[in-house]
Structure formats: C-alpha cells, structure tokens
A and B are shown apart, each in its own frame.
Chain A
Amino acid sequence: MATTTLFQFPPTYNFPPFFTPQPNTNTRQAQLQKWSSLIQAWCRHHRQYRLSLVEAVDSPLFHNAALRKRLDLREARDVIDWMVKSEEEGGGGRRAEWIDSSSSGSQGPKSVAWIWWRRPEEWADVLVDWVEGTGQKGAVLTVYELVQGEATVSQEFHGMDNDVMLKALSVLAKRGKAHVFGSEGQEGVKFF
C-alpha cells in the first residue's frame, strides 16, 4: 500500500464550499459526483479497496488542513451512501458497497465500505484479458498465485484484496468463464 508519489488532489479539493453539503439538488449532485471521483482516485492511488470512514475522516482525503475544512463522519457516510446507490436511483453508480459490521469488526454499521474504483465486473474483465493475453486458458491457478504471484506483478490486480479477487472470480464463475474451488483461504480457480 505504500506509495512513492504524492496524491494529486483535484482543484475542487481546495474549493471551500466542497466541504459543505449543498442544498440545491443539482449542485449537490455535482458535488457528490466530485467527491465520488476524489474517493475513487484516492483509493486507486493508494491501492485501497476498503475504506474505513473512522480512519479516513482524519486522513487528507476528508480533511483539508490548508483550508481547515473537513467532511465529518456523517457527511462522509452520506457521500458513500450516494456512491452505493445505482445511477437509476440518483446515486453514484454503485461505486461503493457497505461492508457488514459483523464481518469487519466492532466499528458499528456503515463504517467500512468497499470502494469500487473498479467494480468486480470490471476486475473480472481485467482478469479475462490477462488470462487470454498470457494464454492461460484452461490453467488452474490458486488465488494466492493470482494476487501475490510473481507472474502478476505487472498487473493491476497484483496485491489485490483477497475478498475483492474472490468477488471478481465469482463474477467470472457466473459468466461460466471460471470455476472456483477449494476451501476458504486456499481457493483455486480454473479459467475456461
């Protein structure tokens, strides 16, 4: 997760009203859209798949020290809520997904979320491209190999969160392009 380059914030980040929920619906939509892309860009830059809001509100993502402005937890939740909704519902196109509090510790509901800077379906496409590009159709690989193996170092999904990888693989399985087997923690996958 360590990054060498500094994250380049968009200009809106330095726009003071960015940190105030806008009452006008159109403006609010635009504002949320900008927040959504900022969060996605931030997570992509940091190779972060899940975002813990409690931690994030103190990070530069939600706290602009120069402006002395911040998005508090509740407002950050509103932003993620918006991202969770599909575009048809007037949301941000499922670019986030809440992680059940039961599986993510005792931080209460809506404290950790997946940030889909790539949705599982998109990851699945990336995997298929890689498999086809490297001629590994029909090969059997472990999930560990996919995520941590030397062969995938150049790939975007290298070092990916295991859960995200499994989600992407299950998408592939549904499409009939892969078969996931094995017990938890030792899953293997066969690509067709």
Chain B
Amino acid sequence: MFFKSLDLTTALRPLLLPDETLLFVQDAVGLYEGKYKIPDYQNGHAYLTSHRVCYIAAEDPRKFSVAIDLKEIDRAEYQVSTVFENMKAGFLKSSPKITIYPKPQKSKTDKSRSATSSPAVPSSSTLHPGKPLSPLPPSIAPQPSPSPKPINATWICPICSFSNPVPSNFDPATATATTNLPPCLACGIKPPLTTVLKAAINAAASRESPLPRPSSLPACEHTSSTTSNQSASGSVSCPRCTFVNHPSLIECEMCGTSLIVAASSAGNGNLHVESPAPSFEQSRIPNTEVSETIKLSFRAGGEKTFHERLKGALVQRKWLLQNAPPVPPPSQSSTTSAPSTATLKSPQPAAPRPTAVGIAGLEQRGLEARMNNQLVIGNAFEDLEALMASAKQIVALAETLARESGMSSEGSAETHAVLSESVAALGMVTTKDMLSSGSENLYLSELARNLAEYLTDDRKGVLQREGGIMSLIDLWAVFNRSRNGVELISPSDFQRAAELWEKLKLPVRLRRFKSGLLVVQRYDWSDDKTVRQLQDWMEELRQVPPDEPVPWDWTVFGRAVTAQETAQRFMWSVGVAVEELEMAEDRGALCREEGIEGLRFWSNRFTDSLAV
C-alpha cells in the first residue's frame, strides 16, 4: 500500500480520475501510521471516492495531501476507542478511528511469476521482483541491494526430487546456460538452468509476498543479510510448532510454516520499541510505502458513514473499470442492473454483431438501440437502488432524447450547451447525502469548492463562455439545472457558499455591484482590467469610420456603445454589461448620453485633454 501523491483541483479538492466518483467528505480528520500520528497530517478533509481515500490538509493543502488506492486496501475496521477498551489508543477520550489494513502485495508476485514462467530469457526488469513497482523515495530505496542476491531458494531436482538450495552466488540476472551450476546433492546430476532460475525467482517473489511487510526495511534487511551470510547469529523458532530452525530456512523444517513472517514481524516490533515515531519523514509521505495500518481519526464525527461507504466502495471495486477500455458502464453496484447496463452504449462490443448492410443494417441498429434504451429505462425504474446506479446513463439518455426532439432550440444556445455538457459534473457534485447530517459548514464549504470547480473547469468553461463574469442568479440556475433536478441547492445555501469563496481562497470571487447585483468572476479579475478592456474597445471604434456620416468628429469622439453591444462584444449578460459600463463611468473612463435612442456610453472626452 502506498501513499500516493494527489493532484488537486483549483478548488483544492482531489482531481478525480475518469469514472471516479466522490462518495463522502469529512473534515477535521487526522492521519495515523500504525499507532502514531503523522505530523502535519492532523487536520484535513478526508475524501472518499470510488477509487481512493484522499487526505487533504486544511493548511497548505498543496503540500500535505495524499491518497491511498482502494485496490490496495484489504479491509477497514471501525473502532471506537475508549479508556477501558484500549488504553493505548487514547487517554481520557479519543476520537473514533477507522483502521485501514493494506493488502498483501500479491499482485507483484503474480506479475513476476507469469513473466518468468516462459522459458525465454527473462528481461532485466522482471528480474528485480523485489523492487516495488512504484518509485520509492531514496530514503526507502536503500534495500539491501538491487540485485536479488540474498535469495535462499531451493530447487527440486527433476531426477530424484531432492530439494537442493540454490547457491548463494547465483544471480538470475546474470545467469546464462554457461553458468556453472552445482549438481544435485543427492543424485549428483546437474540441473537444467531453467529449473534453478525459476526456483530463484519464485523464491525472490514469494519473499516479497508475506503480508505485513515491515515498514522498516532495515528489519527486512536484517533477516535477509543473516540468511545470505549464512551466519548462525540467530535461529528462528517456528511460530506454530516452536521448532528452532536454521536462520536460512524460509519454511519450518517440521511443519512447513513460513518463517519469514515470524522473523519480520519480530523485527517490526523491535523497531517500534526503539523509535516510537512514524518510520518515514513527513515531508516524503507521498509515494511512501505503508506496510502497517493507516488510521483515520475522525475528530468531528462522520466516521460511521465513512466506514459504511468505504466498505461499500471496497465491495463495488469500481477501480476495476478503470483499465477496461471499451467502457462497460460504471455501475456494478447493484447486481440487478449490471447485466442491463452492460448492454447500453455499444451493444456488446465483444459479441460479433451480425453484419447487415444497407437499410436493413441501419434498421437493425436502430432496433438494437431501442431495445437497449428500453432495457436501461426498464431496469432503472425497477427499484431505487438500480436508478441510482444507472443515473448517469439515464441522464445521458434523457439528454439525447431531448436533443433529438429539438427541445434544445429554446433558450440561450450557449447556456444550453454548457448545461448539456455539464452532465459530466454530476460525478463531482457534493450532495447533502455525502455529508453527515448537521455538518452545515462542511456542506457549504464543499459546495463552495464544488462551485469553484464547476466554474473554473476548462472543459466546460462556464465562466469563460459568459465572458469571465456571470451573475449569481444565472449561475444558480445553470448549476441547478446541471444537477438535473436532483439535490437542488437552495438560493440561500448557494449565496452562503459563494460568500465562502474568499475565505477558502478559491479562484473565484463573489462581487457586489453598487446596484446590489451579485456576480461571480475570477479572483484575479479587477475593475481596472475591465476598464482597460472597455477603453481599448473604444479606441478600436475610434479607428473605424462610421457607416453613415455623423455630425460629430468621429476621429476624436469615436462612437457610442450601448449595453447590448457591450454585452455582445464581451459575452456578458446585459445586466452585467450595464453594471460594468456604469462602473467604468464611475471611474471616469466613460460618460453617458441619454437620448431618445436610450442610454449610450462614450469614451470620456470631458476630463481628458484631447477634446478642449
């Protein structure tokens, strides 16, 4: 299990992978490695997604944020420590904790095994099965030696089936057919190279696999170095039958129990007695391997829901979908919907489609699509669970239907486009459902982050399309519509969330015009910039001769603009354009002309020197 480094969004939330969904958020969470607190990771948000458990510190989130892949988690236990139950976990009172146990690193073993089982000469990369696949920081990397020397493997003689030790100087990386191999100790026949090679590699791989890999590699080094030296410094007693074995043996001579576990766990225990601090430097937490348990301490509650959802996510194994290219729809949560959802989108890419050409083929495809749709709709409404699971597809389907029936023609085309693309945002929205009840503040701050992400997402470009500024009411409408009528946000919650942007240092800001209109804009956008934009535009207009002769000197005065023109030019809404023009007027950059045609704005030639 690894602490992975974590990419954050602009709103300082974890950047989700494709198909990853947010399941739960809880603030005021601390991290423990084993029994010990990890410094600087004691107050943050825990995000549970369908793929990961993420921790993001409240202070300095870019520096202190880590994630653990769910696929590397074996199980999670929920513990309420009290004084009586567990004296070590807390003194008078301790926060409830969730303990996460890492999986044994079986996958690596499998990989190396399958790679080397072929008789071909193994490539060098597979010959270092002891090396973790993910990069390790240098502090951890100093493993005894990169080449798998300390292998105490046995090979079985193909003739007499006697178990011979693989010679200690045998290096699978360099071994060739010409390498001198010692003959079988029993029958004296030289073994074929592949037998010894396989044995050596298998031994190296299985040495990695035993579960509680000591967090302290030194402990591991200890056992291996003793074995390679064959020095009888310490004999290992079997944990099961207590037979005292020779230290170089990996299995008990009597009962066959693996001895590595015993040796390493012994070393592990010793280590923590010696140094009761987390075994790695805190600055290097990302990409650090964790062999011990990780604890999440919930100081502000929420642990029950977190645990529940974590268990759910571990069962669902959504990450399995991540590597499957022909996207089988991401709903494995309910067994009832699974078969049906698999038939959506591309009907069974695996099954060879009967080839039909021409109109018959088109008709057939149409028929298939209709049947699929029917299946999806039918299954979705079977029960609520199923509906939740196939919500994404239902929404997609509804959108397609809407587009086909031409419903999209009404309303602003751009806003609609934003809306229809924003279904992708569904996966990212925080609903009240994701938070434990009563945590109103957390809900608001999550909503604020949510909104900030929604606004700054370059793919959707909501804010950009609206010219970098958008009235809060428009945003509220678009955002709520993007939620497709589920978990709508009340206007007051929305405004309160928007007011939190500044406090949370998010890249969007709420701004109040003097008329009281609330707008949303990027944090680095200022009035000065707007004024400059307007002035540049005015200057531009001054260069263009008017279509009709005008009574004034256009080379000096240019021409007037209306709020509508401005809105069009800068892609603002008219309300925003009026406010911005008045703001510019307020700053003396523009002046107004009221006439029968309405209100128009001119570049201010009263206060500048050009017009006397």
Q: A: which residues have CB within 8 A of B?
A: 10-12, 14-20, 22-24, 26-27, 30-31, 34, 64, 66-67, 69
Q: State whether A22 touches B611 (Cβ < 8 A).
A: no
20 A-B Cβ contacts within 8 A?
A10-B612, A11-B553, A11-B556, A11-B611, A11-B612, A12-B606, A15-B602, A16-B552, A20-B591, A20-B592, A20-B595, A22-B585, A22-B591, A24-B585, A26-B607, A27-B585, A27-B588, A31-B591, A64-B551, A67-B551
Known: A12-B605, A16-B600, A27-B591. 8 other contacts (CB 8 A): A12-B611, A15-B557, A15-B602, A16-B557, A16-B595, A18-B606, A22-B591, A64-B551
Question: Taking chain A's interface residues, is the majority helix, strand, or loop, or is none over half, making it mixed?
Answer: helix
Which residue of the partner chain A has the closest CB to B560?
A: A16
Residues of A within 8 A of B552 (CB): 14-16, 67
The reply to whether the CB of B593 lies closer than 8 angstroms to some CB of chain A is yes
Cα A135 to Cα B592 with chains together (Å): 55
Q: State whether A22 touches B592 (Cβ < 8 A).
A: yes
Residues of B within 8 A of A26 (CB): 588, 607
Q: How far is the CB of A17 from chain B (nearest CB, A)?
A: 4
The reply to whether the CB of B274 lies closer than 8 angstroms to some CB of chain A is no
Q: How far is the CB of A30 from chain B (nearest CB, A)?
A: 4
Residues of A within 8 A of B606 (CB): 12, 17-18, 22, 27, 30-31, 34
Cα A108 to Cα B10 with chains together (Å): 68
Q: State whether A16 touches B585 (Cβ < 8 A).
A: no
> What interface size band does chain B fall in?
20 to 34
Residues of B within 8 A of A64 (CB): 551
Q: State whether A27 touches B607 (Cβ < 8 A).
A: yes
Which residue of the partner chain B has the closest CB to A13?
A: B552
Q: State whether A14 touches B612 (Cβ < 8 A).
A: no
Cα A24 to Cα B607 with chains together (Å): 11
Residues of B within 8 A of A14 (CB): 551-553, 557
Q: State whether A16 touches B588 (Cβ < 8 A).
A: no
Q: State whether A12 touches B607 (Cβ < 8 A).
A: no
Which residue of the partner chain A has the closest CB to B610?
A: A11
Q: How far is the CB of B508 from chain A (nearest CB, A)?
A: 29
Q: State whether A12 touches B595 (Cβ < 8 A).
A: no
Cα A23 to Cα B581 with chains together (Å): 13
Which of B557, B591, B594, B602 has most A Cβ within 10 Å? B591
The reply to whether the CB of B547 lies closer than 8 angstroms to some CB of chain A is no
Q: State whether A20 touches B607 (Cβ < 8 A).
A: no
Residues of B within 8 A of A23 (CB): 585, 592
Q: State whether B592 touches A15 (Cβ < 8 A).
A: no
Cα A26 to Cα B600 with chains together (Å): 19
Residues of B within 8 A of A31 (CB): 591, 606
Within 8 A of A (CB), among B95-138: none
